[in-house]
Structures are given as C-alpha cells and as structure tokens.
Amino acid sequence: MVKIFKFLGYVLFFLGALVFFMPKSSTYYYVEHELKKHKIIFSKEELVDNGLSLQVNNSSLSYDGIDVAEIKRMNVKIFGLYNSIKIEDIILTSFASSFLPIKIDSLELSYTIVNPLQVNAYASGEFGSAQAMLYVLDRNVSAVVVPSKLMLQKHQKTLSMMKKQKNGEYNYDKTF
C-alpha cells in the first residue's frame, strides 16, 4: 500500500513540475503564430508567467487587419487534462458596436480531455450572459443567450438572427 502512495506521489510531483516548468510563453507564441494563418492577430501584449498559468495583459485583437477588441487581462491555464482561458475586461471597437454592446466583462473558454471534441464558453457583459459549446468534429457552434435590457433595446437586429425561446432566452446554432 505504501508503494502505491509513493508511486502516486511521484507521478503527481512529476506532473506538477511539468506544468510549472513548461515554456508557457513559447506555447503562447506558437498559438499566436498559428492564429496568424487565419488572419487573427494579437499585438501589444505583455506576458507574465505565474508558474501554473500565463497571464497576458493589455493586448489588442485584430482580424484581417481590422481592430476588433482591446483585452485588459487574459489568464491561460494549460494542464493537459483540463485547459482554460479566462479573458476579462474586453472592449470591442466601434466596428462591432452595431452588433453588440461594446463591453464584455468576462469570457471563459475551457477544454477537457474527458470530452475532447467540445469546447465550452461562458460570457457575461453589457449584452447579458451567454453559454456556448463548440463541437469540433461537427464544426458547429450552439449558444444560449440571456439578453440584457440594453441588448433588447438597441440590438434587435442581432437578436433577430437567433431563435427566441418562451423563457426569454435566445438560441443560436451555426455550422461553419
């Protein structure tokens, strides 16, 4: 019994050391390079390695040469079995203001090896709140949006692209 606990202790120590000493900045730059192939560019960011996570501060996001958002803080956790990205204080540019309110308080993306073909997302902000699932194999996005009063008043065109439910929520399904 002692040998089993000793073995589990060594395995947990090895996994913890692997996550702690993993080159998170290099991984971030590799992902950034891969996103450039799809015309998604992060710039002006400051990287801070916190041991178990990587914090990205004050970055700008652009797509196809068009500025899309300013992101105050992004926390990236890569554990292998469970990975997450928490983004806080997102300000969309005026380009996106015709579709959505420009302030998003938080956006959290998570991926687990238990369900490897699905990425979960949760967001909240001036638009209300949203929960979405990206099904990788089917190339499908399914979202449930609970709109705020601001969203209901000023962004009816965006909401018209979604299916309204009886409880006031809106569903959005899209295959890409």
- Count of CA atoms in the C-beta half-sphere (13 A) of 174: 7
Answer whether residue 176 shows pLDDT above 80.
Answer: yes
Domain assignment present for 132: yes
- Give how many domains the chain has, as a whole number: 1
Domain assignment present for 17: no
Q: What is the pLDDT of residue 51?
A: 83
DSSP-assigned letters across all residues of 27-94: HHHHHHHHHHTTTEEEES-EEEE-SS-EEEEEEEEEETTEEEEEEEEEEEEE-SSEEEEEEEEEEE-T
Domain assignment present for 112: yes
> Residue 125: which domain range?
24-175
Domain assignment present for 15: no
Domain assignment present for 170: yes
Domain assignment present for 120: yes
Domain assignment present for 30: yes
Domain assignment present for 142: yes
Average pLDDT, the chain: 90
- Other C-beta atoms closer than 10 Å to the C-beta of 61 total 21
Name the band, by pLDDT with cuts 50, 70 and 90, for residue 48.
Answer: very high
Please compute the mean of the pLDDT values over residues 87-106 and round it to a whole number. 89
Name the band, by pLDDT with cuts 50, 70 and 90, for residue 95.
Answer: confident
**Global pTM value:** 0.84
